[in-house]
Amino acid sequence: MGLLKKALETYEAMEGLVGIYEDGKEEPLAPIGHIVTKAQIEVTINAEGTFVGAKQADKDQKIIIPVTEESSGRTSSPAAHPLCEQLGYLLGDDEVKFGLYINNLTQWCQSAHAHPKAKAVLAYIQQRTLRSDLTNAGISPDKEKDMVCWRVLGFGISDRSAVWEDVDLMKAYSSYYLSQKQGETNLCMLTGEDTHITWQHLKGAFSLNGNAKIISANDSSNFTYRGRFAEPEEAASMGYLASQKAHNALKWLISTQGTIQGGRAFVCWNPQGRAVPQPTQPVQDQFEDEEDLFDYRNYCQDLRRKLQGYQDKWQPEDQVIIAAFDAATTGRLAITYYNEMLGSDFLDRLAHWDETCCWKDYYHGIQSPLLYSIIAFAFGTPRGDNGKVEPDEKLIAPQMQRLLSCRIDQAAFPLDIMRALVTKAGNLQIYSKTNRNKLLCIICAVIRKCYFDHKKGEFKLALEPERMDRSYQWGRLLAVMEKIERDTYDPDEKREPNAIRMQSVFVKRPGYAFMVIMEQLKKAYYPRLNVGLRAMYERLIGEIMEQIHLSLKVTENYGDPLTETYLPGYYLQKSALYTKKETEEVEEHTDEV
């Protein structure tokens, strides 16, 4: 009940937004007794119930419509909405459906909470001319499930004629429907009050699974309530009002603040409506004034400064709620992840992840990779002419949730994801230049994170020429051999150097691959280099080889397969070779010779 209780708190804190269409928001927060849906046909009438016109509704427009407890969760059994409804209920061909609709709308219009626009719709629909009116307007009336919404002219400004935008009409229906709640009451487990209980909870909290419900009580035969309860109220009982508020709040939150990944919805919010950074994205990516920061200290300071901007607007007791939703079947919506914590703790955990899982991209500064990008490069394959890396859709949701848990719960980074990335990075030649750089930055950030989580070690974001790590030094050597060959290429040369083509062999047998590549370099490429470059590269190779031998541990041999740390060594050395400092050093050696 924790999730629904927080959703209820959110609704009550946001009641000022009920029924309001906000700019930039996909859908509004629905009032009590209403749902948000889409319409296919828009019919305009006047205040006397006379047909004015009809047209196809905006297919992207989401509208608020009044519903009953039965109609909001209807499946095959007929149950009519009281105002906007499907053609099958409005045309009069099915007398049962038509009768249900007329009865609901009549009872509302005869109550103390009647609204003139509802009366105009009732007057029009009782004439049974909808089919011919639609046909004359060029609209097909043959699809029974097409939803019809209404505009009623003659009650003020014409551009406010839409019933789905009339807040007064919504309030009138809510008051009417709540006044009809009579009979036995029971304990609401959300509010702790004795109130009218509902067993028909709203469906469609997650739009991709429109019929799925979080709470359902239709297991009354055979394996009754999973063999644990005799009656549904023994498992959970919830008041109608509380259920409406909680479910409408969840639908609004998922629609306006949720992130859909692999068919699963991830949503993070503050119940008081304060702005919250999204945990599926790096903090830096959520600010338009993002700068390229190449210094780790400045990066951390900038990160904390931006998060402090959130903290300054919060109260000490403010909470952040994180939840994930998925549907195993078309009728059941599962809560696959749930967490609530103080806002200050949430911000600290975001900062901790972004500080420990980041890398120095020499194009864009220090960055923490997108969680989706980690998954895409770990489990995806380059496809198409542009080489876009796309993972299997079924893998995205569970892997995203694993990484989200690592970031929010501070669980150790999954080593299997790191190993998958290392495997993909072991064949760089299949990636485009852009994707190659992205992959290397991601794997280096992940290796840095794994060493922090599992070994309490640290990788610096700058090259460490004297790092006592044999694999790291071999990675440096791979970068040097690649650069030697590339220095001889013409500007439009696209051929991969031998070092990259032999990368997979180099990782398994570095000593053997080194001899083969160096032999090719000295035979075909060294003669094309100027004397200064040859001297610089010979000196650098000698220094790295010496460091490899110094880094050997008792349990290691010179030519053993490399560990994942060769990749940071490779990336940092390659980056260093393209800096201004190295260029100036080459010119100095040339002058000496």
* The token pair that represents 175 in the structure block: 């008051």
* pLDDT computed for residue 219 by the predictor: 60
Alpha-carbon distance of 132 to 135, in angstroms, equals 5
* pLDDT computed for residue 158 by the predictor: 54
Domain layout of the chain by residue ranges: 31-180, 274-318+343-461, 465-593
DSSP state of 522: I
Tell me phi and psi for residue 473, to 5 degrees.
-70, -40
pLDDT digits 0-9 by tens, 531-571: 999 999 999 999 999 999 999 987 888 889 999 999 999 99
* pLDDT computed for residue 581 by the predictor: 43
pLDDT digits 0-9 by tens, 471-518: 999 999 999 999 999 999 998 898 999 999 999 999 999 999 999 999
- In which band, very low, low, confident or very high, does the pLDDT at 586 lie, cut at 50, 70 and 90? very low
Specify whether the CB–CB gap between 559 and 449 falls below 8 A: no
* pLDDT computed for residue 150 by the predictor: 97
Helix axes 433-454, 566-577, angle to 10 degrees: 130
115 pLDDT higher than 70: yes
- In which band, very low, low, confident or very high, does the pLDDT at 580 lie, cut at 50, 70 and 90? very low
* pLDDT computed for residue 591 by the predictor: 40
* pLDDT computed for residue 25 by the predictor: 81
305, burial (CB in 10 Å: exposed 0-12, middle 13-18, buried 19+)? exposed
107: helix, coil or strand?
A: helix
Pick from 312, 317, 307: nearest CA to 272: 317
Long-range interactions of 132-138: CB distance < 8 A, separation 24+: 133/43, 133/51, 133/54, 134/41, 134/43, 134/54, 137/53, 137/54, 137/55
Mean pLDDT of the chain: 90
Alpha-carbon distance of 65 to 62, in angstroms, equals 10
Query: Rounded to an integer, what is the distance from CA 583 to the centroid of its chain?
Result: 43
pLDDT digits 0-9 by tens, 429-463: 999 989 999 999 999 999 999 999 999 888 899 99
Q: What is the pTM of this model?
A: 0.88
Specify whether the CB–CB gap between 30 and 84 falls below 8 A: no
Across 406-529, where does the E strand assignment appear?
Answer: none
Q: In whole angstroms, how far apart are CA 548 and each of 468, 477, 558, 563, 566?
A: 8, 10, 8, 14, 12
pLDDT digits 0-9 by tens, 59-81: 888 999 999 988 987 777 899 99
- In which band, very low, low, confident or very high, does the pLDDT at 217 lie, cut at 50, 70 and 90? low
Alpha-carbon distance of 129 to 442, in angstroms, equals 63
* pLDDT computed for residue 476 by the predictor: 97
* pLDDT computed for residue 16 by the predictor: 93
Specify whether the CB–CB gap between 369 and 421 falls below 8 A: no
